[in-house]
Amino acid sequence: MPVTKCEDGGMVTGILGIDAAWTETQPSGVVLLEWSPGGRPRFVAGAPSYGSFLELPEAGMVELAHAGFPGESPDAAALLHACRRFRPDPGFEIGVVAVDMPIGPVPIGGRRDCDNGISRRFGAMGCGTHSPSAKRPGPIGEKLFREFEELGFAFANTDTRPGDVPVIMEVYPHPAVLGLLNLRHRFPYKVSKSRRYWRGTTVRERIVRLLEQFEVLLTALRQEIDDIPLFLPAASEVRFLAELKKYEDLIDALICAWVGAAYLNEKAEPVGGRDGAIWIPTSVPER
């Protein structure tokens, strides 16, 4: 499948955002958007795990009252098949796969130029990158990348023109959120870090604060993406802090897809080089 500029006014392009877990034991949020040149992206389907996304009977959002969503290995062909089932129109093609996980054409054994580049630009704003290794994400990242590559998706790097399709690109939500919310410091919304964010608070207080942060993000995302059907529970309905992780994963997948839409609109730029690049919206402020 050749890489081409997405300029056809009649073309509907799919954007697959994946908040990819670095291990098979944790679930990965998945969101599908559709985009047409000159228009806003629109939500099509979403789920907090690969398996639940594949099992969706039709376009829409998975029922989040489900007790839990297990982790599993990604299957690129199955994900694309599900996307075409949700949007069967002949003119629809997946143009961008935006993944929050270290990926690329060479094995990843440690920090890369793109990791260091993001940390230099945004580390003082609390948005430095995690350090990848041969084990994490290791084989799971290589599998995801190679499968999409074999299906015709080119790696979006510093040689890529924003807007070219079909591509698979690496994104990083934390600096993207700076651009989404016009902030100059990392926005606190991670469930696993809530004790660190709000020291001395009870679990119940942290549940309330996380839901407030999620609502801020969703409000901003609804200004960028049409028809998002993700609605948060009342704090009184949440029994355990861990129940909020599925909402976090879906929000991160939405952010990944939003960066993919920025790429199609030529409003995203890569940090890194030919073998590793992390894409960020051009709206991200500098410190």
The pLDDT tens digits of the residues spanning 149-161 come to 999 999 999 999 9
Which pair of structure tokens corresponds to residue 28? Answer: 């990965």
In a domain, 135, yes or no: yes
Crossing angle (nearest 10°) for helices 203-222 and 173-181: 70
* DSSP structural state of residue 184: S
Q: What is the pLDDT of residues 77-112, one digit of tens each?
A: 999 999 999 999 988 999 999 999 999 999 999 999
For residue 243, tell me if it sits in a domain.
yes
Task: Quote the domain boundaries for residue 233.
Answer: 4-269
For 11-34, the pLDDT digits (tens) are 799 999 999 999 999 999 999 999
What share of the chain in percent tops pLDDT 70? 95
Q: Establish if 286 belongs to a structural domain.
A: no
Contacting residues for 44 by C-beta, under 8 A, at least 6 apart: 14, 32, 33, 34, 59, 83, 86, 87
pLDDT in tens, 175-224: 999 999 999 999 999 999 999 999 999 999 999 999 999 999 999 999 99
Spatial contact of 92 and 12, defined as CB atoms under 8 Å apart: yes
The pTM is what? 0.96
Q: What's the rounded Cα separation, in Å, for the pair 171 and 100?
A: 5
Is residue 282 in a domain? no
* 192 found inside a domain: yes
- Say which residues have a Cβ less than 8 Å from residue 220's Cβ, sequence separation at least 6: 180, 181
Cβ-contact 129, 113 below 8 angstroms: no
Residue 176 C-alpha from the chain's centroid: 10
Query: Which pLDDT belongs to residue 1?
Result: 44
Per-chain mean pLDDT for the chain: 94
CA–CA separation, 31 vs 33, rounded Å?
Answer: 7
Burial class (CB in 10 A: 0-12, 13-18, 19+), 88: exposed
Amino acid letter for position 162: P
Residue 221 belongs to some domain of the structure: yes
Task: Give the integer Cα–Cα distance in Å for 86 and 202.
Answer: 41
What is the model's pLDDT at position 272? 98
The structural domain count of the chain equals 1
In this structure, the strands spanning 268-272 and 277-281 are: antiparallel
The CA distances from residue 15 to 92, 224, 286, in Å, are: 11, 14, 27
Q: Count of residues for the chain?
A: 287
**Is 284 part of a structural domain of the chain?**
no
In 3D space, the residue among 122, 127, 124, 117 whose CA is nearest the CA of residue 158 turns out to be: 117
pLDDT band at 6; cut points 50, 70, 90: low
Would 163 be classed as within a structural domain?
A: yes
- The CA distance from 278 to 245, in Å, is 24
- Given a contact cutoff of 8 angstroms between Cβ atoms, the answer to whether 99 and 168 are in contact is yes
* Contact indicator for 251, 230 with CB cutoff of 8 Å: yes
Min mean pLDDT across 5-9, 42-46, 71-75, 151-155 is at 5-9
